Amino acid sequence: MARIAIIGAGAIGGVIAALLQQAGRHELILCVRRPLAGLTVETPDGEVHVEAAIATDPASVSAVDWVIVATKAYDAAGAAKWFDRLRAAGNPGTTGAPVAVLQNGVEHRERFAPYVPLDSILPVVVNCPAERQMPELVRQRGPMHLTAPDNDLGRSFAALFAGTPADATVVPDFTSVAWRKLCHNAAGVLSSLLLQPAGVMRNEAVGETALQIVRECAAVGRAEGAHLDSDVAEAVLRTYRAAPVDGVNSLHADRAAGRPMEIDARNGVIVRLGKKHGIPTPCNQMAVALLEAMAG
């Protein structure tokens, strides 16, 4: 049994809580900004009513075995407010609970390095179609895939999900997995700009633009050490076109709701690292400029 704190109860945090509850051996704490009367997750196998303690004050929590961060990528400082008490070392010589970062982008460790020792940070790539439809209701459209580096922390994290419907695995080449996911996420900026769901990718002109966005991402990823197939852009576009036409990604949902957006984690990082390597990224640069102007 593990005592697990989940910071953020949005779409991904909600699905993670439902899965860990299904494991039947964990004690869960949901760390949120506003009180929740409860949390229901509509999974492909039926509804799960999450049984967890709800905490809204970082001063009210105590030490846990694992901290899972499922907040937006731009809110590292907000998530870190929970760490002091949640990560309090329980045994002499320990450095406190490890922090699994389940966020978009490729800079999981960099975001949390100011708050947690690097050897206690576990980056995790998440692939799961899910939407937070109301504060207390999450809809999970498909299976949950979790990928972590193949090290002690990664294997320990994957073991938390044993006996659940989640596919939790570890890989030796985490960099490539993270950039492959970013290639997919980068194209989603078009739905946010157009305020249209995934079906818009079936438009030929939009699809061609998506290909250019992903090719830029892949070029930067390769410069960062990722191994990506030569047809990764075409594969991403096929995935979008095979998805439900009404699918809404998180960047689109945030813009439609007037919330802050993960612009930097999803497309801005491509522009920043492109400049570092001398790789032009004009499509991503335009998308970032437009979204930032709209957000402003």
CATH number, position 287: 1.10.1040.10
Task: Identify the domain boundary among 141, 172, 203.
Answer: 172
Residue 84, classed as helix, strand or coil, is helix
- Phi, psi angles (nearest 5°) of residue 18: -65, -40
Same domain, 111 and 49: yes
Q: Identify the residue whose tokens are 């494991």.
A: 23
Q: Whole-angstrom Cα distance, residue 155 to residue 177? A: 16
Q: Whole-angstrom Cα distance, residue 228 to residue 216? A: 12
| CA distance to 153, 221, 223, 272, 288, per residue, from 276 (Å) | 30, 12, 10, 7, 17
Positions marked catalytic = 181
Same domain, 62 and 139: yes
Whole-number pLDDT of residue 94: 54
Same domain, 159 and 191: no
Of 45, 47, 67, nearest in space to 58 by CA = 67
Same domain, 109 and 222: no
For the chain, how many structural domains are there in total? Answer: 2
Same domain, 203 and 150: no
Same domain, 117 and 131: yes
Same domain, 12 and 158: yes
Same domain, 230 and 149: no
Q: Whole-angstrom Cα distance, residue 294 to residue 284? A: 15
Same domain, 142 and 249: no
Query: CB 203: neighbour CB atoms within 10 A?
Result: 14
Range of the domain at 30: 3-172
Please, what's the b/e burial string for 97-110 (b: 16 or more CB within 10 A of its CB; e: otherwise)?
A: bbbbbbbbbbbbee
Residue 122 contacts residue 157 (beta carbons within 8 Å): yes
Task: Read off the amino acid at residue 174.
Answer: F
List of the chain residues with pLDDT < 70: 89-94
Same domain, 8 and 140: yes
For residue 121, the cross-strand partners are 99
Whole-number pLDDT of residue 220: 98
Same domain, 151 and 183: no
Residues in the chain, total: 296
Q: Whole-angstrom Cα distance, residue 81 to residue 77? A: 7
Whole-number pLDDT of residue 91: 47
Of 86, 76, 144, nearest in space to 110 by CA = 76
* CA 45 to mean position of chain CA atoms: 22
Whole-number pLDDT of residue 92: 45
Same domain, 66 and 160: yes
C-alpha atoms less than 13 angstroms from C-alpha of 224 in its C-beta half-sphere? 28
Q: What is the CATH number of the domain that holds 139?
A: 3.40.50.720
Q: Whole-angstrom Cα distance, residue 273 to residue 281? A: 10
Task: Identify the domain boundary among 134, 150, 172.
Answer: 172
Task: Identify the domain boundary among 153, 172, 191.
Answer: 172
